[in-house]
Structures are given as C-alpha cells and as structure tokens.
Structure 1
Amino acid sequence: MKKISIVVPVYNVAEFLPACLDSLVQQTFRLQDYEVILVNDGSTDNSAQICQDYVKRYPALLQLLTKENGGLSDARNYGLARCQGQYVLFIDSDDYVERKMLERMYDLTNQGTKRLVECNFVWEYADHQRLDQRSGYSSLQDYLVNGRVVAWNKMYQREWLLQTKVEFPKGKLYEDQNFFFKLVLFLKDINEIAVDTQAEVHYRQRSDSISYAQASKISDIFWIYQDIIDYYQQHDGERYYSEIQYRFCRNLLGNVLLRKVRPLSDRQQKKMLVAQVWQKIDQWFPDWKKNHYLRQPGKVNWYLRLVRPRLTQILLAI
C-alpha cells in the first residue's frame, strides 16, 4: 500500500498545471511511497495533453483518469474512490506545494494514527502574498470556530474517511464547508488532528476561478448550511450548536455579504441575497446575538455585535 495518495482534479488549467505537477513529482518523499491521481474532468483546453505528457515521464508515480465534466466535487469523489494510499490529499491543479510537504506531513501522522494532518499555507494574489498560519487547536470546539474550512491543506486517513461516508456535494459551491463540518462529527478528540506549522500549499487566488466566476451560485451557501444543520441533527451534533451558530453567522454576514455579494453589479440581486441571508439567520439561529463567542475581542466580533439588516444595506450600497 502507498503511504499517500494525492487526488488532483484537472479542468482547463493549462497555464498553471505544469507548476502544480512539478511540485508534486519533485517531493523529497520516497517515490515508491506515494501516488498522484490526476482526474481530467472534461477539460477543453490543453490540460489533458499536459497530463499525458507527465504520465509518460513519471509512469510509476502518476495516473490519469478521464471523465465527463461534473465539477470539482465530483472529480474529488471520483479520485477518492480509486486511490489506494493510507492517507489522501486533495490538491487543486492551479496551486503548487513545497518540496518537503509530504515528508513533513506524514511525519506528523504518529505512525498512521492521526485522523488528519493539516498544514499552513500561503494565499497567492496577483500582486502580493498572505500567510495563513495556525500552531494548533485546543479542542474540537476551537477547531470548529477557528479551523481553516478548506480541503486542500489537509491529509486525511483514507480508511477513516471512507468509513464516514462523507463526500463532497456535487454541483455546489462552498463544497469544502460541507466536507469540513461533517467530518468534525467523526472526530473524538482534538489529538486526532496534527498541525504542520510550515506553509506547504501555495493557493492561487484567480479572478477567473470557479468561486469568482459563478456569482449566480452564491446562494448555494444556503443549501450547504441547511444540509450541514440537518446532518448535525441526524448525527448527535447538538453539542456543537454554539460553534456552528457562530461560524455560520460570521461567514454569512462577513465573507458572503462583504466579499461575495458586495462586488456584484446587479442591485436587485444584491438586495435579494441580503434578504435571504437575514431570513436564513432568523430561521436557523433566532438567538444568535446571545452567542458567547461574540463577546470575544476583535474587529469581526465588534462588527457582528453591531450589524443589523439596515446596516448591511448601507454597507452594500443598496
């Protein structure tokens, strides 16, 4: 059995793909101990040819799977079902990683006993970089509140992941949130998680990426959160009510409204999304203003304590 499988969904990323693949084949980890599963998700540019060229050069390391376009989640699920490693990572094909990433992360698995290992990373913008850094978490509650809700900075114990039956939701944005919050329910203790304090992944922020391009799918977050809430109710997740309430309200009123909705040019669309955000918060968390996490210091909590529907309309110029 390989120690690590890396699943790389590929869709129309010819410009960035070589840098990604170079970083994966040049790892300091023993070549015999890992595999890279490339999932060509119906690319229409030169991505498939680039993958084929690399497979010819590294036939013992790389495997190319080709399928009809189904989106990022579908490609990840497809690769997960076909990999063999003790641990599995999901790396986006327009990103790249440090040469010692696999070596450092696997060393933290405690001989394969950790459920997951996550690493720090760098947000790569066109004109600057930003380090996203954690040194660890004190509890699963702390992880729910402060954990990075992305799939591509984590290495998962594959058998455990398959046993949970948690998959990425097909055809939806914010798929990583669904995956992250559901998996936490299957962790018994924070010691099942290890944190690599090195910045291992370089995550490119591209204006033409899926998350930027599909403004009409911003409302997917409501489906995602409803699905997570239902899942928690079905899997004895009430013990994390305060953490989920705080994290969801913080994301809806912060990231979704200020970063996703505010840049939209369609005023009516913005107005509709703002109304939906407040309607969902009232429906799911009518007592959210009493959440004890709001009493913690910081600009975000100060904003959340003050924010009201009228204020969001002013901030979004509607």
Structure 2
Amino acid sequence: MISVIIPVYNCEKYIERCVESIIVQKSANVDLEIVLVDDGSKDNSYNVCVEMKKRYHDSVVLVHKDNGGVSSARNAGMDAAHGEYYFFADSDDVVTEKALESLTTLTSKEAQLYMGEVRICGTKRQILYTKKASYTKEEFIYEMMTEPSTELLASGVWGKLFLASIISKNKIRFDERYQNGEDGLFFADYLKYVSRVEVFDGEFPVYKLYRYDAGERESAVSYFYPDLFEFFVLHREMLYRMLYDSKGINLKEVHQHYINDLIILLVRAFAFPEFFNEKVLLEILKKLLRNEMLKRASRDYERKLRGSSILIPFGLRHNCKYILYWQLRRRGKQYRKRRYSGEKLRSIFR
C-alpha cells in the first residue's frame, strides 16, 4: 500500500483538488491511503478535510494538530501512515493521472527509490527530469549536482516513492528546525541507504508542482532567507560525502557547479540589503569560509571570468572576507538593476 502524506495549512481552495487527483487512482493495481495532516489551519481547511474523510471513509486518515510547520506535519503523517511506501504531496499540487500506478510498476525492480518527472506550473513552465531510467546511487547524486534539469529534484520530495521500512529503520525525519529546505535534507538523508534509483520513463510527469505569482518584495522575502545558505552548504555536503570516495566520479565537475551555485545565491542575497544587513552578510561569509568543502571546491574552480569578476572566486579561495563582501555588494546592485530589465543573472559574470 502507498501512503500519500499531505500537510494541510490554510489551503481550503486547493486541498480538495489535490485529494481528488489521488483518490481516483485507487484501483486493483494501486492500494493507497491518503494521510491528511491539518497543521492548525486558521481557515476552513480542517472542515474540508473532515468532509473528505466522511466521503472516502477508510481511504483517508485525518490527523489534527497544533501548528508546528511543514516538517512537523510530515513527521506526524509518517507516524500515522500504514503503507509500505510513502509518497509526499503538497496540498496545492496535483498528482497526475495514473502516476501512482506507473510508479508502482517500478517496484518490481530491485531499488530503494522510485521517481518520475515533475512539471512546475505557474509563471514559468518547467520539467524536472533525469537523463536515464536507472541509476546507481553515485550516478544519481552526480547528475543531481551537475545537471540543472535534475538538480531541483534533489531539493524536494515530490514525485517519489520512498520505502517506509528504510525510513523507520534508520529513523529518518524531517528536521523541524527548518521551515525551508527541510525536504532536501530529508531526501539527502534517505539517499544514504539507497543503492539503486529507478525512474518512470513515460510520456508524462507524475507530479504537477504549482507556483503562484507574488509581488517582487514578497518573493524576495520568501526566497532569500538567511537559512538558505546553511541549507545549501549542509545539503551539498551530505551529497558530496556520498561521492567523495567513489571511483569514476569527476569531483572537479561537482566542485565547479557547487561554486557557481554558491556565487549566484550570494549575489542574490547581496541584491536585497533590506532583508540582509551588513552584519548578517558578514556572518554568512565567515561561516562559509570555514567550510572544508568550499575550500576544496574553490581550489578546483576554473571558470574564465573577466575584470573584477575574478575577485569573487579569488576571495572564496583565499579566505578574503572583505574582498568578497565589497565585490558581492557591487555585483548584487548590478543583479538587482538587471533583474528588473529581464536580463539573466549569469550576464553579470561576463
């Protein structure tokens, strides 16, 4: 049986659509339960869940708890689940038709993780996909760390079947200290116990992830939070440690992507001084420059940059906090100015 775990918080407009996209997939080939965890919603979400529990009876498990955040809700959902497999969904997303049946067909293969493509629906349509249908753990992690189409799959739990036995045996939990990035850390923790990954190689995504428009200021607040750097470094380190001693893995390529991604995150943070003051930014740089993975990666970094752009990787490599600070502040201003004109971030490094 598949337990589909859905945290519910203030989503009265969407939760029914999400549940109905799942419940129609129950069949002779797909035994499932939907675990709804109301996390202290302030709108009518809980009452909507109660009505769906009445409508679908034993197919729905309903948990009601005080507000503790999405990690707390997912942990409560796992505690209440009965399935052999866990599938995580967000209350405003949709599980596509026949997705669970398609993933179930993969379970005949000897693997510990089963997944499919994810479509992001919203201002920009994007497909998150893998290049192959079958991977060793090391191959999969390498692709996640070096391929943009796969990289975002590493930061979420959408579109994946997890073995409940692995989660239970190894006490894998969502870290309730984090309100952002917690699913990426959970996924990286789970990968420690995986040897093979199987991917549904069909003509449709198994999951539709909805992203809604927000004002520039609101989207900046939600995206550029200080914990992002702690998450980014911790997440990459967890994945990196699983690759470090692997034969045939090009760590230099991994390092290149790591530094590129880090520079982009830093420039974005420095572009919004109203959310990140000087003290916070200097503390972020101080922590980063003590990081061993960053030191190793910066020694391998070979991107050809012009003019003063070379000062950012130079500062990372040689532990020059104040050179980094002033250069990133200048680049952040350029990024903010060009963002409004529609130019891409990478243009500031040319």
Task: State the TM-score, normalizing by the size of structure 1.
Answer: 0.79
Q: Aligned AA for 1:282?
A: L
Q: Could you give the per-residue CA deviations for residues 99-152 of structure 1, whole angstroms, max 9, x where no partner exists? A: 2011000101116x42111111111114x4211221336543332243322112
- Asked if 1:125 corresponds to 2:141, the answer is no
Alignment partners' CA distance in 2, 1:154 and 1:185 = 16
State the match for 2:47 in structure 1: 49
Aligned counterpart in structure 2 of residue 206 of structure 1, from 212, 215, 218: 212
| Contact map agreement 1:123 1:130 (CA 8 A) in 2 | yes
1:112-151 → structure 2 map (5 Å cutoff): 113-126=110-123, 128-136=124-132, 138-147=135-144, 148-149=153-154, 150-151=156-157
State the match for 1:79 in structure 2: 77
Alignment partners' CA distance in 2, 1:167 and 1:116 = 16
1:275-294 → structure 2 map (5 Å cutoff): 275-284=282-291, 285-291=294-300
Structure 1 unmatched runs, 5+: 296-300
Q: Aligned AA for 1:286?
A: K
1:258-297 → structure 2 map (5 Å cutoff): 261=269, 264=272, 266=274, 269=276, 271-272=278-279, 274-284=281-291, 285-291=294-300
Question: Displacement of 1:227 after TM fit?
Answer: 8.3
Structure 2 unmatched runs, 5+: 145-152, 314-323, 335-350
Alignment partners' CA distance in 1, 2:38 and 2:8 = 5
Q: Aligned AA for 1:266?
A: E
State the match for 1:298 in structure 2: none
State the match for 1:312 in structure 2: 328
Alignment partners' CA distance in 1, 2:74 and 2:86 = 11
> Which has the higher mean CA deviation after the structures are superposed, 128-137 or 46-55?
128-137
Q: Give the total of aligned pairs.
A: 298
Alignment partners' CA distance in 2, 1:142 and 1:231 = 12
- Asked if 1:12 corresponds to 2:16, the answer is no
Distance 1:42 1:246, change over 3 A: farther
**Identical columns (%):** 21
Q: Aligned AA for 1:312?
A: L
Per the alignment, in what secondary structure is the counterpart of residue 167 of structure 1? coil
1:28-39 → structure 2 map (5 Å cutoff): 29-30=27-28, 33-39=31-37
State the match for 1:161 in structure 2: 167
| Contact map agreement 1:114 1:157 (CA 8 A) in 2 | no
Per the alignment, in what secondary structure is the counterpart of residue 54 of structure 2? helix
Alignment partners' CA distance in 1, 2:281 and 2:187 = 25
State the match for 2:346 in structure 1: none
Q: Could you give the per-residue CA deviations for residues 13-57 of structure 1, whole angstroms, max 9, x where no partner exists? A: 112212111101111544871100000000011111111111111
Alignment partners' CA distance in 2, 1:141 and 1:40 = 37
Aligned counterpart in structure 2 of residue 94 of structure 1, from 79, 92, 95: 92
- Asked if 1:183 corresponds to 2:190, the answer is yes
Q: Aligned AA for 2:71?
A: S
Aligned counterpart in structure 2 of residue 252 of structure 1, from 249, 262, 268: 262
Question: Displacement of 1:271 after TM fit?
Answer: 4.5
> Which has the higher mean CA deviation after the structures are superposed, 80-89 or 269-278?
269-278
State the match for 1:218 in structure 2: 226
Tell which structure's C-alpha radius of gyration is larger.
2
